[in-house]
Amino acid sequence: MASKDQTASSSETTTAVADDTSSQQDAPPHPLQVTSPDSSLPSPSPRQRRCVAAYMDLTREECGRLFPSGPLRSQPLRLAGRPFYLTARCNMDQRDTFRCFGLFLAMEVDDEEEEEEGAPSPAASVTVEYDFAARTRQQSGDEFVSMYKGHYTFAAGKSCGYRNLLGMPWASFMGDGGGDSVFFIDGVLHLRPELCVKEDA
């Protein structure tokens, strides 16, 4: 886990957008490492978790295949009894002027019929506070830079995220043209969304 987070600044502030995830269903699943924020406490069951950190590592080759092959979908994770997944993609920025790296969080329809014993029935919608972070070569150790924070009320089949998560065009992110991207460490992009269910007031 990172010992210190810093908020990254960007010349373009990208807002969260609702998104139809039906076109992403065929994307291959990518492994996640999911942990609870406080490892000193007993780990709750996946259906009862309300706060998680999801580590998603993508190689430069995997990122390069996002265009033109399409988005890369993660394996599912459970939060407050609901199944979520992450999607990395190469998409156009908010102004539709250049391609860039985007990351989205989605809640999918839950096909599981059996509830875990003692677990409450999940709500039809859930509000999640999120912090999308990434490592850079400019930081020491395992520190992550917080790129964007916010909250969104999810329902099955809906997602939110950022089209330009890293605040730069695709070519700069990939290090095309002889440049060297600060986001690839030994050829790997390290992402860490932290997710927490927002409690009702």
Whole-structure pTM over 0.75, yes or no?
yes
| Residue-range domain boundaries for the chain | 50-110+122-201
For residue 165 the two structure tokens come to: 């998560």
In CATH terms, 50-110+122-201 corresponds, of 1.10.3720.10, 3.40.718.10, 3.40.50.300, 2.60.210.10, to 2.60.210.10
Measured distance CA(110)–CA(141) in Å, rounded = 38
* CA 40 vs CA 9, 55, 119, 130: distances in Å: 33, 19, 22, 22
Measured distance CA(57)–CA(90) in Å, rounded = 16
Could you read off the pLDDT tens digit of each residue along the chain, which spans 201 residues?
333 344 443 333 334 444 444 444 455 588 889 887 654 445 556 667 899 999 999 999 999 999 988 999 999 999 988 999 999 999 999 999 999 999 999 998 876 544 555 555 566 899 999 999 999 988 777 789 999 999 999 998 899 999 999 999 999 999 886 667 899 999 999 999 999 998 765
